[in-house]
Amino acid sequence: MSKDEAMNVVNNMLSEHQTTMLVTHDKQGGLVSRPMTTQDPKKDGTIWFFVSSDGDVIDEVKANSQVNIAYAKEGNYVSVSGMASIVNDTEKKKELWYAELAKWFEGQSPESPDVVLIKVTADTARYWGENSGGSDKGKRDQAGGSGRIDY
């Protein structure tokens, strides 16, 4: 499978997985996971999340920007490692915003300084399709197989 085809497989998997576990490092260097909702993943490995500006994840990303994002759904798995940054760009927030977010952010809007974005720029992605461990190559290819992408 070419790199472009593998990137399409990963992007399709990310698009189908709305909830993920975002893993950061706490102040002591330990790992911290929390469920997050992915916003419009891009084929180039850029992944966005909305977060409250007072969330612990903000301090964790500022202290150590290396993160992992883990997805699992219906026999398909993706693990993305990359670097996170905090983005407070009102236009980008408006672009990614949808009405249900107002419930999560207690009536806030994308213009609010209390709502910020986490941008993850992927370094690598590993993926496994439903049948990637079996011996039936046709089924592995159809499900996406397994592989690694270096962005």
Interval 45-60: pLDDT, tens:
899 999 999 999 999 9
pLDDT at 15 over 80: no
Q: Which amino acid is at 128?
A: W
| Among candidate residues 125, 127, 7, 123, the one with its CA nearest the CA of residue 65 | 123
Domain count, the chain: 1
Q: What is the domain range of residue 59?
A: 3-150
Give per-residue pLDDT as tens, 66-81.
999 999 888 888 999 9
What CATH number has the domain bearing residue 134?
2.30.110.10
